[in-house]
Structure 1
Amino acid sequence: MGLGYVGLTLAAALVRRGYQVYGVDSSPTVLKSLRSGRTHIYEPGLEEVFAEHLGHSLRVGPDLPEAVDAVVLCVSTPVDEQTRQPDLSNLAAAAAQVARWCGRDTLVVVRSTVPVGTSRRVVLPPLQRAWGDVRLVMAPERTIQGQALRELVELPQVVGGLDEASLAAGVEMFGGLSTEVVPMSSLEAAELVKLSNNCHTDLIYSFGNEVALIAEQHGLDPLEVIRAANLHYPRPDLSRPGYVGGGCLSKDPYLMMSGAEGPGPFLVGAARRLNEYLPVHVAARVVELVRQECGRTRGARLAVLGWAYKGWPPTDDMRGTPIAAMMPVFQEAGLAVLGHDPMVTEDVIRENGGEPTSLDKAFSDSDAVLVINDHPDYRAIDAGSLLGERGPKLVFDSWRIFDEQVLRSAGVRYASIGYLPEPSPAERPTTARPEVNA
């Protein structure tokens, strides 16, 4: 139930392991697309599975068939943008539907990411009222986009049960999918595994960003500092700075915090605030550098490369994308934002405030270029060959994927996250246009 990223990839992986799968979703648009063999999300291998199995061992529809052995709840559990409180209404509605459609012999699996205690507090009661005896497990999704079909088989599947009978049924089901199953002592323990994985990742990335912000204040190169700190040092490596988004890392810390009591959590919220601040900080730095190099911001043309939240593995996912936090800063400064992404459609770029452009024009017809993600197409760019006669005057290379010296030798101001080296004489414009209405 729920054919978003989690449900669709799980359905495909189960079908490939010999399961008979019926995908349920409430969106007519999603169902129409899937029935025609077109998947509405990008994931390597997904469309091939649908082309081979749709109509046979894989079917989709708005309702469950009469008899199923297991129902996996993969519905969204968003957080409110203002209050940051979890919205569990989709999960509650799905549980109520399962209570009406199925019976006590059906194994119910919570796959959605939830605050600790949600499976027992939200999903269990309607099932108990309808059936009495319930078989319920929590088996969190832990894949990375771009590798999901492989990781669903290779990663250990964590399973926590309501009781011994539930746990045994869950272990049997996921044992047919994965090479390793990890039984947990409770529903809550399994819920906390997923939150711990993602919040730890968010925290690790935030420390790299903290180092970058401190390095920037002292005029240092954060990558130089991080590389030296990691080199042959037998402790956990520091992460390099970068944006932290996506549907999980931008949401799960709030789910973890909502399920905690007392004075904490102490680290999770601070890490999330820092990672959400970084895109805003970078946008302000870009605006200031454009003002320095162009003499104005209003009407200056900024080409943004990379609108999806990450470039590798490639995705078209816009959830938690840095550009969403950056655009208000650019718009206030009066920048004209051009957009390019190998995976994101032109319509989506327009919907998010950009004017689509080609990769060539991003360099030849702009005053500044901002690289947000590290898609392989961008890593393959010979930036020097794309500069042309006109510009740009600034390249803000968030992932340090271009040859800095080539750009600086061509008179282009180069900068990155936490890295704002002084321009060489060749980079300084001979004349600055006056600021107008900036």
Structure 2
Amino acid sequence: MGRKVGVVGMGYVGLTLTAALADKGHTVYGADVSPTVLASLSRGRPHIFEPGVEEIFAARIGRDIQVGTELPRDTVDVAVISVSTPVDDITRRPNLANLAAAARAVAATCRPDTLVVVRSTVPVGASRRVVLPELRAAWGERVRLVMAPERTIQGQALRELVELPQVVGGLDAESLAAGVEFFTGLAQTIVPVSGLETAELVKLSNNCHTDLIYSFGNEIALIAERHGLDPLEVIRAANVDYPRPDLAKPGYVGGGCLSKDPYIMIDSAGERRPFLVGKARELNEYLPIHVGETVVRMLVEARGGSLGSRLAVLGWAYKGWPPTDDMRGTPIATMMRVFSAAGVTVLGHDPMVTDDVIRQYGGEPISLDKAFTDVDGVLIINDHPDYRAIRISEVLDEVRPAFVYDSWRVLDADAVTGAGIRYAGLGYLPPAPTPAAAPAASDAGAVPA
């Protein structure tokens, strides 16, 4: 028998959980403070792309899924808090105002016997320190509270909500039992842990470890670049039949979680800062700067200057596979500052991102079939399948780019260099092929950056 579940916060975490719960036969009440989000959802049109979610909302909105500015009073059996916990751009400290406000809203609209689930990513201790006092102020000691972190990957959330083990930590034995029972109806495997804080640290550990292992691949790439080596060759050779964990390929590390959670982990550590977490994040945030500066140097080398040069950038969402339209932590946000300072005109394309978003970030939209013509250089940032499918001979014109910087190495490098175009990637900077590429569109005598 389905339950009545409230979900406070209809961002990515709340949206996907709502769809998954409704698909399992629960009645879900979604609450959000954004009129735009509510208007879109009420029409059955999710504001965030995630495979399968739109179909569930279109079929169930107004019936099994209801949305509003607050949860219906004294109605839900379970209230899930899935609001954002942003990190300040300057101090890098987590802002838990949304978490406290959501806890107050749940306390005001729900019954004391309601199971409260913290789903948001929080510093260790925040469920007990921020959420619990709000509930106890309204309900006294009759509080059932669990922390059950979301750990899905974008593009596969509905599958992973079922297939990934669900970690649950409770305030007490009664809370834990209620949390385990609830999630047993959704996930195939439940992992009970000893308390709220353990579950909080599990989520941070997963994401910070991912950030860390990716940063090592990026470290290898930067060192390989200094020596004129191919980092992918180094990593492939290092991994062949070696019985220790594989090295990760280099790549940009963004998104809503990996660009934020390391700072929440650092905050959780208190006065004794972690040795590794901050350095890994620093390296991963430096990579887009390094690539932006490298691309500008390549423009200068090829055309005598960067001012007025035209650069086609393919891939504006933070990742290309699984496809997403998420711009949180996208490398282009950092790179655009570098390109703007160098006077580069940036032309943008992404199959998942609207032209309006590209303009908001300072780019001029361009179609994929025009991205390799009438430009001085091409930068491929993510590995969307449309970019993997590019056949270089089919997209070139007489006026060709001087180089293609293929961050994920998805193109046929031999085909690119065979066309007289310099080919490069993360940590991979071989010299320009000879004979030199045909003249490109912009003035080779532009003022150097």
Interval containing the TM-score (normalised by the shorter chain): over 0.9
Task: State the SS of the aligned residue for 2:372.
Answer: helix
Letter in 1 for 2:60: H
Q: Distance in 1 between matches of 2:395 and 2:215?
A: 33
Q: Which runs of 5+ in 2 are unaligned?
A: 1-7
Q: Distance in 1 between matches of 2:61 and 2:43?
A: 9
Task: State the SS of the aligned residue for 1:159.
Answer: strand
Q: Which moved more, 1:333-342 or 1:253-262?
A: 253-262
- The CA deviation at 1:172 is 0.7
Indicate the RMSD between aligned Cα atoms, in angstroms.
Answer: 1.2
CA contact (8 A) 2:399 2:439 kept: no
Which position in structure 2 is the counterpart of 1:186?
195
Answering whether residue 165 of structure 2 is matched by residue 161 of structure 1, we say: no
Task: State the SS of the aligned residue for 1:183.
Answer: strand
Which position in structure 2 is the counterpart of 1:272?
281
CA contact (8 A) 1:346 1:356 kept: yes
Alignment map for 1:329-408 (pairs within 5 Å): 329-408=338-417
- The CA deviation at 1:426 is 1.6
Which position in structure 1 is the counterpart of 2:76?
68
CA contact (8 A) 1:293 1:429 kept: no
1:265-289 Cα offsets, whole Å, 9 max, x none, are 1000000000000000000000001
Which position in structure 1 is the counterpart of 2:324?
315
Q: Distance in 1 between matches of 2:138 and 2:122?
A: 23
Q: Distance in 1 between matches of 2:448 and 2:420?
A: 27
Q: Distance in 1 between matches of 2:76 and 2:338?
A: 51
Task: State the SS of the aligned residue for 1:182.
Answer: strand
Letter in 2 for 1:50: F
Q: Percent of pairs identical after alignment?
A: 68
Answering whether residue 46 of structure 2 is matched by residue 46 of structure 1, we say: no
1:2-58 Cα offsets, whole Å, 9 max, x none, are 001000100000011111111111111111111111110000011110121111111
Normalised by the size of structure 1, how large is the TM-score?
0.98
Which position in structure 2 is the counterpart of 1:298?
307
| Corresponding residue to 2:27 among 14, 20, 33 | 20
Letter in 1 for 2:59: E
CA contact (8 A) 1:311 1:374 kept: yes
CA contact (8 A) 1:300 1:334 kept: yes
| Corresponding residue to 1:232 among 238, 241, 250 | 241
CA contact (8 A) 2:400 2:439 kept: no
- The CA deviation at 1:430 is 8.3
Which position in structure 2 is the counterpart of 1:117?
125
Task: State the SS of the aligned residue for 1:427.
Answer: coil
1:277-309 Cα offsets, whole Å, 9 max, x none, are 000000000000111111121111000000000
- The CA deviation at 1:434 is 2.5
- The CA deviation at 1:360 is 1.1
Letter in 1 for 2:119: R
Q: Which moved more, 1:421-430 or 1:282-291?
A: 421-430
CA contact (8 A) 1:363 1:388 kept: yes
1:331-372 Cα offsets, whole Å, 9 max, x none, are 011000000000000000000000000011111121100000
CA contact (8 A) 1:77 1:91 kept: yes
Which position in structure 2 is the counterpart of 1:433?
444
Which position in structure 2 is the counterpart of 1:11?
18
- The CA deviation at 1:428 is 6.0
Q: Distance in 2 between matches of 1:25 and 1:124?
A: 21
Q: Which moved more, 1:426-435 or 1:338-347?
A: 426-435
Letter in 2 for 1:68: V
CA contact (8 A) 1:135 1:162 kept: yes
CA contact (8 A) 1:24 1:61 kept: yes
Task: State the SS of the aligned residue for 1:232.
Answer: coil
Q: Distance in 2 between matches of 1:125 and 1:190?
A: 19
- The CA deviation at 1:129 is 1.4
Q: How many positions carry a matched residue from both structures?
A: 438
Q: Which runs of 5+ in 1 are unaligned?
A: none
Letter in 2 for 1:98: V
1:109-131 Cα offsets, whole Å, 9 max, x none, are 00000010000000000111111
| Corresponding residue to 1:198 among 198, 203, 207 | 207
Which position in structure 1 is the counterpart of 2:4?
none
CA contact (8 A) 1:408 1:427 kept: no
Q: Distance in 1 between matches of 2:432 and 2:57?
A: 53
Change (3 A) 1:427 1:239: farther
Q: Distance in 1 between matches of 2:44 and 2:134?
A: 35
Q: Which moved more, 1:296-305 or 1:256-265?
A: 256-265
CA contact (8 A) 2:87 2:94 kept: yes
